[in-house]
Structure 1
Amino acid sequence: MTNKLITMTSVVAVSLLSLASAVTADADEYQTSGTVGFIPSTEVVPPHNPDEPEDEVTPVDPTRPDGKPEPGMPGPLSIDFASSFNFGTHTITNKNVSYDAEAQEIQTKGEDTHVPDYVQVSDYRGNRAGWTLQLSQNGQFKTNDAQHPSVLDGAVISLDDSYAVGLTNAVAPDTYNTSLSPDGSKTVIMEAEKGEGTGTWMMPWGYDGDLKPDKENGNMLIDPKVRLSIPGTTPRDAATYTTTLTWTHN
């Protein structure tokens, strides 16, 4: 009895399998496609937090009375934000000195905090062509006295311990430490080879652990990786000295 049951079950299974094969053999196939396209973005990319890249932030410019930084550029290849450098106020001396820049203040998630000074750029052209970011100093630090400006001869801005922080999984661009020349010559500080650097990238100088208070300037937090060095032989007036920096992304 048991053997007969097994035999009958096997016959039924073979019959069903034969029927399924016949149906499959007679079936027609019909294929469709999926497609999606992209175009370059011309939107202005808001500044982000180099410590938490996905967070959008509102940076503060310490060199402007209203604290509002220069607006970012529209895409697809853009400079979204760059820190201004405030080296504080100091007692006149005849010694060789170095002063560190104020750390970048940002407003994020309803709170004020500080991060290392940084620059942010974006590439949403969609062609993986690569790019360079250059920086130049437009003249030496000097006072605003139109007739007899005092020039801070020999003063040098140095930018060290740079690295790239991105919002995508693209290959990161290279970063370069540098010392600026006041003659206006451009120096490459960030570079993406072909196939690299797509999306949004930040380049901080230093890390959060590097930031420290400056007692001479009310304990403001400073970034020791952005430094102004002045020879002791350079005369100094009791005044504010300024210069401008130009960032070029191409």
Structure 2
Amino acid sequence: MRKLDKKINFLVVPVAMISLVALNSVTVYAESESLSGTGKIEFSGEYPQDIVDPEKPGEIVDPGETPQLKGDLRIDFVPKLDFYQNKISDKDEVYYGNAQNFFGATKPRGNFVQVTDLRQKPTGWTLQLRQEMQFTNKDTKHTEIKGAMLSLDKSWVSSTKDMSNAPQLSKEIITIDNVGASYNLAQANSGQGGGTWSISFGASDENQNNQKNTLEPRLDREGQAVLDPVFDNKPVYLNKAVSLSIPGTTIVDPVPYTTVLTWILAELP
């Protein structure tokens, strides 16, 4: 389960009628008469909230259902991180998340967040991530994966907009070693970050942004490709840019454990 939290100053814009007056160069004669008319235009609905391919940002993709925020400054998409089913171990282990899959012909991508800023005068924004609790399962003996740490690496940004206006990303690996604390992922200063931006962790070998390929086919214990029943049985890929480390001293049970991640989009003053 993923939870979204939005901490911004809301800019309320009432529905307005726009009057248009056409000005043309004319020759005026002393005995002529003129009349003035009005122009009118009206809009309905909302701005499209499409998800775009982080590696081909001009193309719309379908990653399935996702929680979304509304408004001029919003989060359009957040990843649902899945670390697959793994064998219990008494050694220190690092597990990799599933890469983002899509319906249709789009191949897997690194896990990504999509932010859109449609404000006329963008003052900037910050994107943060907070893990609300440790990985838990209340219905088993060992209810918590003690010492588990989620890490996000190889971050990069893409858009159809001029990259000189791109938000700045954290240069460090984001390792959530303090559950309940908020970690900075990206920041757009005043005048930056307008339009739609994808903040990705990892990339496929299709990317043309000089990013290292972090995706590999996920294989089962027999060495066969794992298929994703949600996305038309397409192959599942793992993403080495998204990992979960678990100490060997931590005792776990053969059950699923989950956590809650809060993605925070804040408007800069």
Q: TM-score range by the shorter chain?
A: 0.7 to 0.9
Report how many residues are paired: 203
Q: Secondary structure of the residue that 2:220 maps to in structure 1?
A: helix
| Residue deviations 1:177-226 (CA, integer Å, cap 9, x gap) | 31124521111101001121111100111120321022237443011000
- Given that residues 42 and 75 in structure 1 are in contact (C-alpha distance below 8 angstroms), is that contact kept between their aligned partners in structure 2? no
1:138 aligns with 2:132: yes
1:69 aligns with 2:85: no
One of 71, 74, 78 as aligned partner of 2:74: 78
Match of 2:5 in 1: none
Higher Rg? 1
Match of 2:32 in 1: none
Identity across aligned pairs (percent)? 32
One of 142, 152, 168 as aligned partner of 2:145: 152
Mapped partners of 1:189, 1:49: distance in 2: 20
Match of 2:157 in 1: 164
Amino acid at match of 1:205: F
Amino acid at match of 1:69: T
1:225 aligns with 2:241: yes
Mapped partners of 1:231, 1:47: distance in 2: 36
Mapped partners of 1:132, 1:99: distance in 2: 28
1:193 aligns with 2:209: no
One of 116, 123, 133 as aligned partner of 1:129: 123
Mapped partners of 2:257, 2:198: distance in 1: 28
Mapped partners of 1:149, 1:194: distance in 2: 47
1:238–1:143 CA distance, 2 compared to 1 (3 A):
same
Match of 1:89 in 2: 85
Match of 1:64 in 2: none
- Given that residues 78 and 113 in structure 2 are in contact (C-alpha distance below 8 angstroms), is that contact kept between their aligned partners in structure 1? yes
Mapped partners of 2:78, 2:48: distance in 1: 14
Mapped partners of 2:142, 2:179: distance in 1: 17
Amino acid at match of 2:137: T
Which one scores higher on RCO, CA 8 angstroms, separation ≥ 6?
A: 2
One of 203, 214, 219 as aligned partner of 2:199: 203
Match of 1:58 in 2: 62
- Given that residues 158 and 227 in structure 1 are in contact (C-alpha distance below 8 angstroms), is that contact kept between their aligned partners in structure 2? yes
Match of 1:179 in 2: 175
Mapped partners of 1:149, 1:79: distance in 2: 35
1:85–1:232 CA distance, 2 compared to 1 (3 A):
same
1:179–1:42 CA distance, 2 compared to 1 (3 A):
farther
Return the TM-score normalized by structure 1.
0.75
Mapped partners of 1:126, 1:232: distance in 2: 52
